[in-house]
Structure 1
Amino acid sequence: MVKIEGNDDKMDCSSNAVLKAWQNWNGAIDCGYSGVTWHSDELKRIADEYSTQFVNAGLKPGDTVAFVLSNTVAFPTLFISLLKVGCNLLLLHGSTPYEEIENYSKTININWLCHDYIENISRLKDHNFAKHSELAIKNINIIISKTDFSVREMQDYRGVAFHPTSGTFGKPSVCVRDQKVAVAEAVNYTSSISCYKNSRIVVTTPLNHAFAFGFGFMSTLISDSTIVIDSVFNPKALLRREQKEPSDILTVVPPMLLSLLHFKKTDSRYVLPKIVFYAGIRCDSKLKEEFESEYGVNLYAIYGTTETGAISANYDEKGADFSAGSTLNNVEIKIVNKEKYKDIGENIGEIMIRSSSMMNKYFTDESHRNFDTFYPTGDIGTSDERNRIFLLGRIKDIVNVDGMKVDPSEVENILLSYKAIKDAVVYPGLSSNNSEMLVAAICGDVKKQDLEDIKNYCYSKLLKYKVPSVFYILEALPRTPSGKCLKTQLPNYFS
């Protein structure tokens, strides 16, 4: 296993590591738009009170709680309270619909629901899944609901987090991540990114998301930082707040950059922290350059997976446009199967990672695989002598055109450099003779009569077989809140 660097007393990676970090934490939680700041001493006292209430309500060690909370002070406080009881937490988005929670219950023995989503609360009594007793938690609008659901014997988990993931190869799964690996990821962040200590950090994405959970919540605990959270992303309110009380670090996913750019162009007085990190999906170079120029900030990439935790960050270096940065402390990388991808370029292959923050296992995996070894990320790329990672795409996204492999991200970058195209995605389609072909969906100030010029532009920049055979002009690409394109909803998508 990777040896963990860092000798700070707060960098404890034992089985109760998160609870120990919480007890040693001297930071705060700023609830953003509400204007209320909660200091660590007060939150520790409240967490103790809540854990007592949970025990009195019947929760016990080993129970699994579907944790469906938005970004309020309730998320970190109740998360800690439930860990103190010894519960396991299935981390779900605050607006997860009831039907999706029910689907999870078919594989995970969910004993309780902890939620603040008003539509779920209003439907509880009408749903067979939730014959329940309710527990109000002080003046915070939280409901704890007992379920009657029991579907399978579970392993003897105590105080761990279950993180849903799309899986390395697109198959939905649930990662088991205990307190040890949660704090290990925070150690890797804070020991590698020098700006983190005692900082004020704005987290715009939901805390159940692996990026926000690790970079925002967990890393805050071991760095005595203040985390700023909001129940929803409101770019105008965020910018107004930054004018009054500047922060040190902002975290985003790339689609948020467009909203922030819009408001900067309406009022040049808006400012942001000089350090902005993004994760979730690749940010195209044109948007990155425009954002950095308009705000006068540095935009840094963080690369990771739910399974491995954070892998790299390009903080402290300028790097190339497509660099995902150098590997963090306690992370190792190797590139394999290079021969398979020689059509794309030299030294390109499948990225394998070994990390101190590796998950314990997939929830439904009974094979007892050893995740101390190198893990296949499902990404294609290369690395250099400085351990900088250059991502080219996903293994499953590589398109086979007449026996030649094409990396869609290379073609997307060319399309996005065309002045009228604002968004683009390239993917496999099926031709009339049932062979795989390259298809592009584009958005922007583009009309049908422009397609010939766009195609000629691609021919001037790419080898012929890399130019899409078919172009679709769409009003908008179907994307998730984190910016990932929903390719199955695109025209003529062939999996």
Structure 2
Amino acid sequence: MGFPSIQSRFAAQAARTPDATAVVCGDVLLSYRELNDRANQLANRLRSLGVRSENPVAVLMEHSADLVVALLAILKAGAFYLPLHSAYPRDRMQRIMDHAGGPILLVDSAMQRGETPTARVTIAVDVDQATAGMPRTDPASPTTSGDTAYVMHTSGSTGEPLGVAVPHRAVLELVADPCWDSGRHLRVLAVAPYAYSVSTYELWVPLLRGGQVVIAPSREVDARSLRHRISEHGITGLHLTAGLFRVLAEESPECLTGVQEVLTGGDVISAAAVRRVLDACPGIVVRSMYGATELSLFATSVPIPRPEPGSGVPLGRAMAGVRLYVLDGNHQPVPDGAVGELYVGGSRLAIGYYGRPDLTAERFVDDPFAGVGNRMYRTGDLVRMTGDGLVEFVSRVTDQVKIRGFRVEPVEVENVLAGQPGVAHTAVVARVAPSGEKRLVAYVVTDGAPLDLAALRAHTRAELPDYMVPAAFVEVDALPLTANGKVDRRALPEPDFDEIAGYQPPATERQELLCALFAEVLATDQVGIDDSFLDLGGQSMLAVRLATRIGKALGVEVGVSDVFNAPTVRELDIWLNSRVPAATT
């Protein structure tokens, strides 16, 4: 690698190409020199407040150039960043902050106007006068390759969010992987929330290789905005979750025109979606990537040739510095082609779970194939491996599921529901809706009192990120059990995604069209003008689909944020009045 830390490698790159553009966000452009200088100033500000090696610094900011400055500055101060997602409910943020010991919190003025968690010190990066007066010299804080670079939180099997601590070494190994040597990732579009591990690729692969990061505004990942930014900024590489990739491929595959390589993964990749994108965008490379936050993002990679109908898409082959093992229940290798659990070893592994040595020891186990002191991570995925090292996904070992590319432990959702008025017992599972989207369903046994579903849904929204909020709540008399007394999730009834209360019919031709499009996207029989897209199970990928279809039907630009800001047909119809004549169909 040659560098002990992310910040030292960045400083070397800034010295080589000081005037090259590093970050683009709207009208804001930062050169490598400007980014380095501004990060140094903020780093010195953090040092003046007592921030030292292995200290956490929390971040709650919109997607912006200032965000990149903040993350780099935290590393330059010798600390590690603790990203908070703006979609997290405040209580969830506070639990993460409290677990980290109440660290300093970096915000921007937009976030500061909202409800932020309590911190020892809160700094609004974009307006802080003290930072502007700090020296631009690098604080040169000592950092080793094994020090923590960031802690990102995932859904936890304990019922609480679980922080994964990733060292500088793992990120630098990812950046050094030969799969980036093609030059197809020198201008990367950053669309993922920075609280999720995909941001590791979006930020550090281009910035540590002399490339450019183009920051997309938060929540704008619809076909319209992607097409615009890809064309305007000459985007060469980006990552899309498997679910979002499928939606864009089905609705508007040509929006990726101009991209040289698109990475996708996080769930089973649709072969039909790959074919549609390859057909619509000649010359594009679609690459399958597999990994986890515990593996500093990616562990396997493979470019996908045009798959034949009926064929699957593999997870890929081991990337540099990664060891893959397919093992049986006794931790012994299975023959090529046989199914076993995937374990991953090598230099990409996380340090472990922040503040949870018990869970770290459970999932990061000794690697008997690599000598004393080496570890491997138990992924919980059942796979098979071909003789040439290609890994194919089969199923999960545990109840853990992927929703929109995000890992969800159903027990965390169940814990939020437990103890609420009317709830005696509950089980949460993932079901495939008629639309083909995977959605969470909560099965509830009542305590005899009437169940207020609206209040229950509101409570889960206040406690959990939107992708963890069940799309449907089903009342059952009892939870079916297996012979050994565990909940038999397979025996739970299929939910009725068509259930609608208080139906109000459309009053105009355009409302009728919108109701039909809502129903089509949500795969339900009927939607009234006051039925909320969110209450009917809508989420970001379905919003992408809905925005695209409304835009095509009415000839007007509609974004994902527009759907979330006006989630009913009545509200969306009012919003559309200023953009398209009401008589248009």
Same fold (TM over 0.5): yes
Matched residue, 1:224: 210
Matched residue, 1:381: 383
Is the Cα–Cα contact under 8 Å of residues 171 and 348 in structure 2 kept in the other structure? yes
AA partner of residue 314 (structure 1): V
1:277/1:160 CA distance change after superposition, 3 Å: closer
Separation in 2, partners of 1:334, 1:428: 35
Matched residue, 1:354: 345
Query: Do residues 137 (structure 1) and 125 (structure 2) align?
Result: yes
Give 1 or 2: higher strand fraction. 1
Matched residue, 1:91: 83
Post-superposition offset of 1:81: 1.1
Identity among equivalent positions (%) equals 14
Post-superposition offset of 1:356: 0.8
Matched residue, 2:22: 29
Matched residue, 1:311: 299
1:443/1:118 CA distance change after superposition, 3 Å: farther
Post-superposition offset of 1:29: 3.4
Matched residue, 1:459: none
Query: CA offsets per residue over residues 49-84 of structure 1, 9 Å max, x none?
Result: 222233345544443211223321122211121222
Query: Do residues 104 (structure 1) and 104 (structure 2) align?
Result: no
After the TM superposition, which residues 439-454 of structure 1 pair with which residues of structure 2 at under 5 Å, given as runs?
none
Separation in 2, partners of 1:373, 1:482: 36
2:168 to 164, 179, 186: 179
1:347/1:36 CA distance change after superposition, 3 Å: same
Post-superposition offset of 1:193: 4.0
Separation in 2, partners of 1:432, 1:99: 30
Query: Do residues 285 (structure 1) and 271 (structure 2) align?
Result: yes
Post-superposition offset of 1:351: 0.5
1:223/1:398 CA distance change after superposition, 3 Å: closer
Query: CA offsets per residue over residues 298-331 of structure 1, 9 Å max, x none?
Result: 4222100111221111127667632011111111
Query: Do residues 322 (structure 1) and 324 (structure 2) align?
Result: no
Separation in 2, partners of 1:479, 1:392: 28
Post-superposition offset of 1:91: 2.0
1:382/1:159 CA distance change after superposition, 3 Å: closer
Query: Do residues 249 (structure 1) and 242 (structure 2) align?
Result: no
Post-superposition offset of 1:137: 3.1
Post-superposition offset of 1:92: 2.1
Is the Cα–Cα contact under 8 Å of residues 203 and 252 in structure 1 kept in the other structure? no
Separation in 2, partners of 1:28, 1:438: 56
Separation in 2, partners of 1:482, 1:259: 7
Q: Secondary structure at the match of 2:326?
A: strand
Matched residue, 2:280: 294
Uncovered stretches (5+) of structure 2, i.e. residues with no partner: 132-145, 366-373, 402-431, 444-475, 483-487, 499-522, 528-532, 543-585
Is the Cα–Cα contact under 8 Å of residues 187 and 236 in structure 2 kept in the other structure? yes
Is the Cα–Cα contact under 8 Å of residues 294 and 350 in structure 2 kept in the other structure? yes
Separation in 2, partners of 1:398, 1:130: 32
Uncovered stretches (5+) of structure 1, i.e. residues with no partner: 1-10, 144-156, 400-414, 446-471, 484-495
Post-superposition offset of 1:428: 12
Aligned residues: 405
AA partner of residue 382 (structure 1): R
Q: Secondary structure at the match of 1:378?
A: strand
Separation in 2, partners of 1:212, 1:196: 19
Matched residue, 2:437: 423
Separation in 2, partners of 1:48, 1:316: 41
Q: Which deviates more, 236-245 or 473-482?
A: 473-482
Post-superposition offset of 1:263: 6.5
1:365 to 342, 356, 360: 356
AA partner of residue 79 (structure 1): L
Post-superposition offset of 1:47: 1.1
Post-superposition offset of 1:442: 8.8
**What is the root-mean-square deviation of aligned Cα atoms in Å?**
4.3
Post-superposition offset of 1:105: 3.0
Separation in 1, partners of 2:320, 2:78: 30
Query: CA offsets per residue over residues 271-301 of structure 1, 9 Å max, x none?
Result: 2413211132222233333333334444222
Q: Secondary structure at the match of 2:375?
A: coil
Post-superposition offset of 1:432: 8.2
Separation in 2, partners of 1:379, 1:108: 30
Separation in 2, partners of 1:270, 1:64: 37
Separation in 2, partners of 1:217, 1:196: 15
Matched residue, 1:41: 33
